[in-house]
Amino acid sequence: MSKLLEGKIALVTGAGRGIGREHALMLAENGAAVVVNDLGGDEHGSEGDTTPAMEVVKEIEAMGGRAAVNGGNVADFDQAKAMVDQAIETFGDINIVINNAGILRDRMVFSITESDWDAVMAVHLKGTFGPSHHAAIYWRNKAKAGEEVYGRIINTSSPSGIYGNVGQTNYGAAKAGIAAFTIIAAQELVKYGVTVNALAPTAFTRMTAPLMGGADAPEKLKDAINPRWIAVTATWLASPEAAKVTGRIFDIRGENLGIAEGWHLGPVAKQSDEPADLGPVVAELMSKARLNASMDGTDHEGPGFPGHGI
């Protein structure tokens, strides 16, 4: 089997378990050296233990690959820089950044606490910005020096962020921010030869299991949305074959791969300068406007997308 990423260097955050683990293993299977970052906290962001990341590194080394452990916190700007620097210092370059680290603090908007909000924003949104920012500086400097640049940023959004999900105002807002960040960063970095894309995955992982039936979830569901499917898309996006794909959000649910098309302007009408006259205008617009998507990304419950996203 040909290796899509022979000689490439990758950083994967949150790579000790779940989707991140699958990213790291598949990148390595395809020839990349991988910095395996994981703070080792639980799904709520508490505690910390680099053992999961070390286990992934050992798996990669056992298959003959190259990998290194990083236990840094993606929400810490300096530690995010250290991750990028570690890849460069250990393996000589950095070509791929997969921002995957995440936590959940699900609450209804009237129950969520400030700490619940801040923690989720820090890990997801700032944790995507930090590694991307530091890698982008490195690639821009290389380009300005006349050196060849190979850069891929792959972020992790969510169906909750691009379609919406009850109980996840913090998580969904962060994931929507990541989608917007992806689109704009793609526009900013394209001239340097860097692509920026995002995944909106549905997968059975430690984080999502409680929402999908936990240990009692059907094996058929677990198999259908195994996190390995997410790594397939990420690995291809990291490869030379994806050089002209940027600014896209990929909805992945098992073997089903789609592109989420984002906001588009719908029906338009002329409004009066008097608020009292606006009712009929808005009523007409509402009658013509497409409904917001459900969590499967469609106007109704569509076939072929098992489970529900997170």
Q: Which amino acid is at 49?
A: D
**Tens-place pLDDT, residues 36-79:** 999 986 665 566 678 999 999 999 999 999 999 999 999 999 99
Examine residue 80 and state whether it is found in any structural domain, yes or no.
yes
Examine residue 25 and state whether it is found in any structural domain, yes or no.
yes
Query: In 3D, which of 156, 202, 164, 143 has the Cα closest to residue 182?
Result: 156
> Which member of 132, 158, 160, 239 is catalytic?
158
Q: Supply angle C-alpha 74, 79, 81, rounded to 5.
A: 100
> Which member of 138, 150, 163, 171 is catalytic?
171
**Tens-place pLDDT, residues 187-207:** 999 999 999 999 999 976 666
Residue-range definition of the domain harbouring residue 127:
9-260
Please report the pLDDT score of residue 278 as a whole number. 97
Give the 3-state secondary structure of residue 134: helix
**Tens-place pLDDT, residues 157-181:** 999 999 999 999 999 999 999 999 9
Please report the pLDDT score of residue 43 as a whole number. 62
Do 56 and 204 share a domain, yes or no?
yes
> Which member of 8, 81, 126, 175 is catalytic?
175
Do 93 and 111 share a domain, yes or no?
yes
Do 293 and 246 share a domain, yes or no?
no
Task: Round the CA-based radius of gyration of the chain to a whole number and report it.
Answer: 20
- H runs (alpha helix) in the chain: 18-29, 51-62, 77-91, 114-120, 127-144, 159-162, 169-189, 219-224, 228-237, 278-288
Do 177 and 296 share a domain, yes or no?
no
Please report the pLDDT score of residue 310 as a whole number. 37
Distance of alpha carbon 201 from alpha carbon 19, whole angstroms: 9
Backbone torsion region of residue 130, taken as left when φ is above 0, otherwise alpha when ψ lies between -120 and 50, otherwise beta: alpha
Do 86 and 24 share a domain, yes or no?
yes
Examine residue 3 and state whether it is found in any structural domain, yes or no.
no
Please report the pLDDT score of residue 49 as a whole number. 79
CB atoms within 10 A of CB 197: 25
Q: 290 Cβ partners below 8 Å, 6+ apart?
A: 266, 299
- Is 175 one of the catalytic residues? yes
Burial of 193 (0-12, 13-18, 19+ CB in 10 A): middle
Number of domains in the chain: 2
Q: 68 - beta bridge partners? A: 35
Do 214 and 286 share a domain, yes or no?
no
CATH code of residue 191 = 3.40.50.720
Do 112 and 55 share a domain, yes or no?
yes
Query: Which tokens sit at 12?
Result: 């994967």
DSSP state, 212? T
**The last residue of a domain, from among 260, 275, 295:** 260
| pLDDT under 50: residue ranges of the chain | 301-310
Please report the pLDDT score of residue 65 as a whole number. 98
Distance of alpha carbon 308 from alpha carbon 266, whole angstroms: 27
Q: Which amino acid is at 270?
A: K
Examine residue 1 and state whether it is found in any structural domain, yes or no.
no
Largest CA distance in the chain: 71
**Is 74 in contact with 123 (CB distance < 8 Å)?**
yes
**The last residue of a domain, from among 228, 244, 260:** 260
Distance of alpha carbon 69 from alpha carbon 46, whole angstroms: 19
**Is 84 in contact with 134 (CB distance < 8 Å)?**
yes
- H runs (alpha helix) in 66-168: 77-91, 114-120, 127-144, 159-162
Do 184 and 281 share a domain, yes or no?
no
- Is 171 one of the catalytic residues? yes
Do 238 and 282 share a domain, yes or no?
no
**Is 251 in contact with 200 (CB distance < 8 Å)?**
yes
